[in-house]
Amino acid sequence: LNGDFQATQRLARYVVESDPEDVPHDVRHEAARSLVNWLACGLGGSRHEAIQRAVAALRPFAGPPQATLIGRRDRFDVLHAALLNGMSAHVLDFDDTHLRTLVHPSVPVASSLLALSERQSISGCDFIHAFVLGVEVECRIANAIYASHNVSGYITGTAGVFGAAAAASRVLGLSAQHMTWALGIAATQAAGLREMAGTMSKSFVHGRAAQNGLVAALLAQKGFTSSERSIEAPRGFARVLAGVSELEALTAGLGERFELSLNTYKPYACGVVCHPVIDACIALGKQLACDPTEIEFISLRVHPLALKLTGIKKPSSGLESKWSIYHSSAVALVDRVAGEHQYSDERLNDPCVSALRDKVTAEADTALADDAAHVTIALRSGRTLEHYVEHATGSVARPMSDAALEQKFLTLADGVLARSQLTALLETCWQVERLDDVSSLARLSTPAEI
């Protein structure tokens, strides 16, 4: 690549010039699946303590009640709604994953777009198109940086802000020049540290990406200027945040394939790199005829990233236990599921789960794929059980079905909205492209007046 490579401007031009007809049907259907999963997580997370505290802290400073908070009666200004809905949709660590980079694509893009839809009318067709384009930009940026960036900064915080900016800029109808500035204003807000895992600040990083990307688009709309080479310049985003100067991945094959096709949804409420181990432990738990106290030890062989990202041996809270492959395997073996309840303080401190957790050892095996795992259980009796998972449930090779996504939606949203409202909302999500105005989706996501 020569020094004149204009990655930022090329991405901006692509987003401005893309035609909705260019997006294949299966990609648009994947967008609807992402929307179902994002709303499921947003509804499920909407009463989390992290959201309660953030709402209490920010309420006195919020603007007009322009936009819905998913799953809540509160209304906030559009910018705070993007933040808080992004936080709700991520706080359970149950949202979608672009597995190659571990970006969570929907939170920044969908949270900013839905909030904006309550300020200006956006058709379902335009919403899905802008969503696909926003995910494309954020995942391409993630592809360019993830190898050097992933284990340090939070990639959804840093790449996601571009996705939110691109999607919002598209529905605002910005020119390529203004969209280039929006990407620059996004770049200079790119932030987030993996050190936040297991604390409320993790969801904040993700919600901020949605809000900051939206602010970038709104500033650029008014002619607020920025660098026009914010991604690729020597002092730009890619080199400063990730040390990357080879940026072909940003534009190679642009418009010919869609990163959204690689989106995946979690069947389990924890870090995605744990999932193959959970599959194995659920299978072994079903085979296990004996009491868990009969287990001598549990030995995991996993992809190295699983230990890097979920290596917390003794989690101190339910939230932190989502980042523990040790807790995940113990609780999955006992409960034979791994939903939100398995990552509660209660299950974390359960004596049986806790005793089993101490018997888990894990080793990294570079020969394993990142969606594969091998688990061995040794019993006091001398017997051993083994299970190998080639592809985890919810991986690209073994995706969750539409029906499984619906079930996840209904389970997470249970008690937040009335059952009849949930089925109407699901139906609207699947048919989103037929909506004249997607703000009806937002209205359906808030509890009806009693």
Contacts with a second copy by CB under 8 A lie at: 50, 53-54, 56-58, 60-64, 66, 77-80, 119, 151-154, 157, 181, 184-185, 187-196, 199-201, 204-205, 208, 215, 218-219, 221-227, 229-230, 233-237, 239-240
Cα maximum dimension of the chain = 73
Q: Whose Cβ is closer to a second copy: residue 98's or residue 229's?
A: 229
Element (H, E) at 363: strand 360-364
Nearest distance in Å: CB 244, a second copy: 13
Report the alpha-carbon distance of residue 312 to residue 75 in Å, rounded.
Answer: 37
Report the alpha-carbon distance of residue 173 to residue 241 in Å, rounded.
Answer: 29
DSSP code for 393: T
Report the alpha-carbon distance of residue 194 to residue 290 in Å, rounded.
Answer: 39
Give the pair of three-digit tokens for residue 370.
């990142």
Q: Whose Cβ is closer to a second copy: residue 143's or residue 203's?
A: 203
8 Å CB contact between 319 and 200: yes
Nearest distance in Å: CB 95, a second copy: 18
Q: Whose Cβ is closer to a second copy: residue 60's or residue 382's?
A: 60
8 Å CB contact between 34 and 96: yes
Nearest distance in Å: CB 176, a second copy: 17
Q: Whose Cβ is closer to a second copy: residue 31's or residue 91's?
A: 91
Q: Whose Cβ is closer to a second copy: residue 62's or residue 364's?
A: 62
Nearest distance in Å: CB 192, a second copy: 6
Q: Whose Cβ is closer to a second copy: residue 37's or residue 324's?
A: 324
Radius of gyration of the chain (CA): 22
Report the alpha-carbon distance of residue 118 to residue 66 in Å, rounded.
Answer: 7
Q: Whose Cβ is closer to a second copy: residue 183's or residue 272's?
A: 183
Q: Whose Cβ is closer to a second copy: residue 172's or residue 284's?
A: 172
Nearest distance in Å: CB 382, a second copy: 40
Nearest distance in Å: CB 361, a second copy: 22
DSSP code for 448: P
SS (H, E, C) 229-248: CCCCCCCCHHHHHHCCCCCH
CA atoms within 13 A on the CB side of 24: 10
8 Å CB contact between 373 and 277: yes
Nearest distance in Å: CB 147, a second copy: 15
Backbone angles phi, psi at 299, to 5 degrees: -120, 125
Nearest distance in Å: CB 431, a second copy: 30
Report the alpha-carbon distance of residue 227 to residue 182 in Å, rounded.
Answer: 9
